[in-house]
């Protein structure tokens, strides 16, 4: 019977342990651990430097202690008039201070170097991962948000990834070493100093959760603010031309207000936490001070020992301060790591290695084909239904139809940026080799999207973006094909003339011709033009398309357009409407031209 009750109480204590650990797990603790495991992946690359950093920190702490003990003896010597030991103690004090300073400077240098290295490492990795993320998933994030995570969050992580472990180790060493030095002279004093320890317990689970919540909210709000700023600056011309600058100015202040509110709430929380900590710290401080005065009054300790005690008590608080202050940065880092991981862990693009087998057949051109394709961005809302499509080498194929019916979606399917939920989108080589569209087939395409895609720099730099080693002659040839040479040849610096961001300094039609020249220079077997000739006059538009096919008779050219002028040049015309892609026969095509 007794055995049974013993067994039961043992079970109960295990049960409460299990519940306790589960509660920790249910909170944010497991998330924090996961986020830090991820950060460790990066810190681990700098193991050697971290160990060196820690050793220097321990040496510097030890020398600080030696200096303090020497200080105690110095005071005792002066108050006891034992002048002969003075030079030795002075040497120890000055030596330990100088070395300690030297070590700290090296630590500072190493931590800065490591911080930059880890920041660059994470940024480079994340950049590659974002570029390789599934298009649909990454396009759910606003540019400003991605930018904020890329700069702000990575900065927070790299600032702490290297330093937090050495800081804790050095602080714990400092605490233990100081405790033993005090214990050596007076155990009661050591006990009082040890009372600082319960401070750590104050960082209860509740506080950790609050801290993490605040940190998360501040980061999110900062992302929202940056998204707003990026969007506003990107659309500066529109804002000005609509005369809505005052509205944007007001909206900017509104976002700033929200950011200020949450930052101040976080700040208040931090102040309250600090007040509680400081009150407790001061209580211990005063107790220690009172005890020292009492022992001095009863002649149990010397002036030197009292100075040592008081100095080391604050050293002990300093060590705690370090550990305590590392907790908020530890939590902030985990929040930032979490936000970066959200991007990193997005599904990747599909890569099909056998796509490389298509490369040697590029000169014969490729057929682009879709069969039974169904696609929806959002479940239940089909944009493309049971659709067939094909474009052969040497053909210009048009996708026409009302706005918002799915022409660009078709281009995205062809590029393999999105994948059909049903059916297949494939590229077929002259020998019959068929590969589904994926990230590895994309280099077989040259794509001119809607909108101005010219970057700041010279015309030649814009061209060499797609072909690094292009000669001036090749660039001029591409400009001639796209009818851009007509105006570039009259510029004072011709191809070395400067272009502003988004083609500033050039007309919309000129920018479009430059964008087409860039695609021509890329010399890919399949050319995709998404409303890329919309700003050109009819004659230029036709000339551009004719030149492209003449230059590379095996090129497959797919254009989306609202303009009838192009249709006469096309071997095939598809109408994208009401979710279906239908090939139009000659009569329907002619009717379509009239309807435009
Ligand atoms: N990233 C996206 N997420 C969700 N829905 C989208 C997305 N992109 C487009 N759509 C929806 O898909 C439909 C087709 O859009 P798409 O851009 O393909 O049309 P379009 O025919 O090219 O239009 P336009 O001629 O105006 O350029 C639209 O209803 C649009 O709202």
Task: Determine the pLDDT at residue 2.
Answer: 47
- Provide the pLDDT for residue 588: 67
- For ligand 1, pick from 135, 143, 381, 383 the residue to mutate: most ligand atoms within 8 Å of CB: 383
pLDDT at 314 over 60: yes
Ligand 1 site-directed mutation target among 137, 407, 578, most atoms within 8 Å of CB: 407
Interval 308-335 mean pLDDT: 75
How far away, in angstroms, is 221 Cα from ligand 1 center? 29
Q: Residue 23's pLDDT band (boundaries 50, 70, 90)?
A: very low
Domain ranges in the chain with CATH number 3.40.50.300:
360-595
User: Does residue 81 carry a pLDDT above 50?
Assistant: yes
Q: What is the value of ipTM here, to two decimals?
A: 0.96
* Nearest Cα residue to atom 31 of ligand 1: 404
Residues 555-581 have pLDDT tens digits of 899 988 877 777 777 888 898 888 788
| Model pLDDT, residue 206 | 67
Q: Is 139 in the pocket of ligand 1 (CB under 6 A)?
A: yes
483 contacts 545 by C-beta, under 8 angstroms: no
CA of 411 to the centre of ligand 1 (A): 11
DSSP states along 227-252: HHHHHHHHTHHHHHHTT-HHHHHHHH
| Residue 408 CB less than 6 A away from ligand 1 | yes
What's the pTM?
0.73
Cβ–ligand 1 distance for 335 under 6 Å, the answer no
9: confidence class by pLDDT, cuts 50, 70, 90: very low
Q: Is 35 in the pocket of ligand 1 (CB under 6 A)?
A: no
pLDDT of residue 25 exceeding 70 = no
Most informative mutation of 406, 534, 578, 581 for ligand 1 (most atoms within 8 A of CB): 406
pLDDT digits (tens, 9 = 90+) for 247-267: 888 888 898 888 888 888 888
**403 touches ligand 1 (CB under 6 Å):** yes
Atom of ligand 1 nearest to the CA of 405: 21
Instruction: Give 406 Cα–ligand 1 centroid separation in angstroms.
Output: 5
Residue with the two structure tokens 């030795």 = 88
- Is the beta carbon of 406 within 6 A of some atom in ligand 1? yes
Strand order in the sheet with 422-428: 381-391, 367-378, 422-428, 434-436
pLDDT the model gives residue 589: 63
The ranges of the chain annotated as CATH 1.20.1560.10 are 35-344
Mean pLDDT for 403-420 is 89
The domain 35-344: what is its CATH number?
1.20.1560.10
- Domain covering 360-595, topology: Rossmann fold (3.40.50)
User: Hey, which of 141, 398, 404 would you mutate to test ligand 1's pocket, going by the most ligand atoms within 8 Å of its Cβ?
Assistant: 404
Q: Is 409 in the pocket of ligand 1 (CB under 6 A)?
A: yes
pLDDT in the model for residue 414: 92
Q: Per residue in 471-528, pLDDT tens?
A: 999 999 999 999 989 888 888 888 898 887 776 778 888 888 999 999 899 888 999 9
The conformation of residue 535, written as its DSSP 8-state character, comes to T
For 452-458, what is the mean pLDDT? 80
520-560 residue pLDDT tens? 998 889 999 888 777 788 888 888 888 888 888 888 999 88
CA dist list (Å): 31 to 10, 239, 334, 338 = 30, 42, 8, 8
Q: What is the largest CA-CA distance in the chain?
A: 117
pLDDT in tens, 97-134: 888 788 888 888 887 888 788 888 888 888 888 888 89
pLDDT at 1 over 60: no
- Kindly tell me the number of DSSP H helices and DSSP E strands found in the chain: 22, 12
| CA–CA dist 427, 413 (Å, integer) | 11
Please tell me the distance from the alpha carbon of residue 269 to that of residue 267, in angstroms, as a whole number.
5
**Token pair of 142, please?**
């606003």
* Mean pLDDT of the 127-153 span: 88
């Amino acid at each position: 019977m007794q055995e049974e009750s013993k067994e039961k109480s043992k079970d109960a204590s295990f049960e409460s342990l299990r519940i306790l650990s589960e509660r920790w797990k249910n909170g944010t603790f497991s998330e924090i651990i996961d986020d830090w495991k991820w950060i460790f992946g990066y810190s681990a690359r700098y193991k050697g430097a971290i160990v060196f950093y820690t050793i220097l920190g321990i040496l510097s702490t030890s020398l600080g202690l030696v200096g303090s003990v020497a200080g105690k003896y110095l005071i005792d010597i002066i108050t006891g008039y034992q002048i002969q030991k003075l030079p030795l103690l002075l040497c120890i004090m000055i030596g330990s201070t100088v070395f300690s300073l030297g070590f700290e400077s090296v630590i500072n240098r190493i931590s800065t170097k490591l911080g930059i290295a880890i920041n660059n490492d994470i940024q480079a990795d994340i950049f590659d991962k974002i570029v390789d993320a599934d298009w649909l998933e990454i396009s759910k994030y606003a540019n400003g948000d991605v930018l904020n995570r890329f700069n702000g969050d990575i900065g927070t992580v790299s600032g702490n990834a290297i330093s937090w472990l050495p800081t804790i180790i050095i602080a714990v060493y400092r605490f233990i070493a100081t405790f033993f030095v005090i214990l050596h002279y007076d155990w009661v004093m050591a006990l009082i100093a040890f009372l600082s320890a319960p401070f750590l317990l104050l960082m209860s689970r509740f506080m950790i959760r609050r801290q993490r919540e605040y940190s998360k909210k501040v980061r999110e709000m900062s992302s929202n603010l940056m998204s707003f700023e990026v969007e506003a600056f990107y659309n500066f011309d529109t804002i000005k031309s609509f005369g809505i600058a005052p509205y944007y100015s007001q909206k900017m202040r509104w976002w700033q207000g929200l950011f200020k509110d949450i930052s101040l709430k976080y700040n208040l929380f931090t102040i309250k936490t600090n007040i509680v900590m400081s009150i407790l710290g001061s209580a211990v401080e005063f107790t220690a001070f009172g005890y020292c005065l009492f022992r001095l009054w009863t002649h149990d300790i010397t002036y030197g020992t009292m100075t040592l005690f008081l100095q080391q008590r604050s050293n002990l608080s300093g060590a705690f301060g370090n550990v305590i202050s590392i907790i908020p940065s530890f939590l902030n880092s985990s929040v930032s790591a979490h936000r970066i991981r959200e991007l990193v862990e997005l599904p990747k693009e599909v890569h099909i290695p056998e796509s490389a087998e298509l490369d040697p057949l590029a000169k014969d051109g490729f057929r682009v084909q879709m069969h039974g394709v169904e696609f929806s961005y959002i479940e239940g809302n089909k944009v493309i239904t049971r659709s067939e499509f094909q474009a052969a080498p040497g053909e210009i194929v048009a996708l026409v139809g009302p706005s918002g019916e799915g022409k660009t979606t078709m281009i995205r399917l062809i590029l393999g940026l999105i994948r059909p939920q049903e059916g297949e989108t494939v590229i077929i080589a002259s020998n019959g080799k068929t590969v589904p569209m994926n990230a590895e087939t994309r280099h077989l395409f040259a794509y001119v999207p809607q909108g101005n895609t010219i970057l700041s720099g010279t015309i030649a730099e814009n061209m060499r973006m797609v072909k690094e080693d292009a000669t001036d002659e090749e660039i001029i040839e591409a400009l001639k094909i796209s009818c851009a040479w007509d105006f570039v040849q009259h510029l004072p610096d011709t191809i070395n003339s400067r272009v502003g961001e988004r083609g500033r300094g050039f007309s919309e039609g000129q920018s479009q011709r430059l964008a087409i020249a860039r695609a021509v220079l890329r010399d890919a077997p399949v050319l995709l033009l998404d409303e890329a000739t919309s700003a050109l006059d009819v004659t230029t538009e036709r000339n551009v398309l004719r030149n492209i096919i003449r230059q590379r008779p095996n090129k497959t050219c797919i254009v989306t357009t609202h303009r009838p002028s192009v249709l006469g040049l096309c071997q095939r015309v598809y109408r994208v409407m009401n979710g279906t892609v239908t090939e139009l026969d000659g009569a329907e095509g002619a009717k379509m031209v009239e309807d435009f």
